[in-house]
Structure 1
Amino acid sequence: MRSEIVVPLLIRDLTEADLLRCGWSGSRLHLDHVARELRRDDAEYLVACAARSGLPVGKGLIDYRKTAGAGTLGQLAVHPALQSCGIGTAVVLAAEERIRARGLPHAELSVEVGNPRARALYERLGYVAYGSEPDGWDEEAPDGSIRRYETTCVLMRKPITRTPATPARPRTAPPAPPPSG
């Protein structure tokens, strides 16, 4: 038997309290870093939550400092049990709305060369590769030690256009039928 369950999502600002339930998104080291970054005024963290329970199931960063004229998306993560359900798409689209609201012309992100599923998602959403660069960050090993993770990331960009409000067309009554007679 197969059944489908629909869980409404709420996307809002991530809070420090949410991090207690985001262990799926990274190590203690990563979550401590996110907690510090929440205090920045040139960045926003979003969280996708199950609307009724408030359980975090996806998250992402918008960094307004990294690239002039763009909001740079980063640290995008979806609970492993819920990947490929549209949550990542919802987080990216919500981030793009925030970037658009600031009047910035582009959204940017980077994706590891070894992550073709994520790259395919970003391409479906309209992001185009324009280069690559080495990247790295500290990560916590299973034994608690800290090591440097080095990788190469593909840089991707998408124009964020302001969607002008289109005025509603006035409704007109259909022409009256000719008099019968």
Structure 2
Amino acid sequence: MTAVVVELSARDLTHADLESCAWAGSPVHLASVARQLDRARLGEVDYLAVCPPSGLPVAIGGVDYRAREGVGTLWQLTVHPALRSCGIGTFLVHAAEGRVRARGLRRAELSVEETNPRARALYDRLGYVASGRRPESWDELAPDGSVRHYETVCTVMSKDLESGVPRRWTHESD
């Protein structure tokens, strides 16, 4: 087995990045991300890109500081499908938590769809604790090009933040 070390960095996502993020969701979703970047300019949210040395995003996600008073709410977290289960999601969550701490906040919160056990397992491993349930909804592009309304039930999870953000990511492969 050979260890492959890939340097990752977390930076602000930009409008220019969106053309290389088609893997992250439908055009409707990416239009929503573009609107969130406008909110980032106002300081209401942070929207992060996790990148290898190429500078192209392999994971993206936001932190909303207005969703709940005194809490950084992580949302729209996603990793490129070909790179899932490699530790990049962990890196993204830690980077987002770092942004929350930098704002002087000590609590992070997120919602995970109850039909997404892999994401729930990640958040459990990272120390998030279920604190409730709530319905959520959004619009998404259907395969036929129409926009459909999506509704789901999410588990709300929260975490008291401590110091320490990983600087390196290692993945062992054959």
TM-score, L = length of structure 2: 0.89
- The higher-RCO structure (CA 8 Å, 6+ apart) is 2
1:75 aligns to what? 76
Match of 2:52 among 50, 59, 67: 50
1:176 aligns to what? none
1:117 aligns to what? 118
Alignment of 1:74-153 (within 5 A): 74-153=75-154
Q: Percent identity?
A: 60
Q: Measure, in 1, the Cα distance between the counterparts of 2:4 and 2:143.
A: 34
Q: Measure, in 1, the Cα distance between the counterparts of 2:13 and 2:104.
A: 22
Q: Which runs of 4+ in 1 moved over 4 A?
A: none
1:169 aligns to what? none
2:32 aligns to what? 33
Decide whether the 8 Å contact of 1:103 with 1:162 is kept in 2.
no
Q: Measure, in 2, the Cα distance between the counterparts of 1:54 and 1:95.
A: 18
How far off its partner does 1:7 sit? Answer: 2.3
**In the alignment, residue 44 of structure 1 is paired with which amino acid?**
D
How far off its partner does 1:161 sit? Answer: 3.9
Which runs of no fewer than 5 residues in structure 2 stay unpaired? 165-174
- The residue matched to 2:136 in structure 1 has which SS? strand
**In the alignment, residue 19 of structure 1 is paired with which amino acid?**
L
Which runs of no fewer than 5 residues in structure 1 stay unpaired? 164-181
How far off its partner does 1:3 sit? Answer: 5.0
> Aligned Cα RMSD in Å?
1.3
Count of residues in Structure 1 that have an aligned counterpart in Structure 2: 161
Greater displacement, 70-79 / 34-43 = 34-43
Q: Measure, in 2, the Cα distance between the counterparts of 1:24 and 1:8.
A: 21
TM-score, L = length of structure 1: 0.85
- Work out whether 1:157 is the aligned partner of 2:158: yes
1:10 aligns to what? 9
Q: Measure, in 2, the Cα distance between the counterparts of 1:79 and 1:145.
A: 24
2:167 aligns to what? none
- The residue matched to 1:45 in structure 2 has which SS? strand
Say which structure is richer in strand: 2
Larger radius of gyration: 1
- The residue matched to 1:37 in structure 2 has which SS? helix
2:21 aligns to what? 22
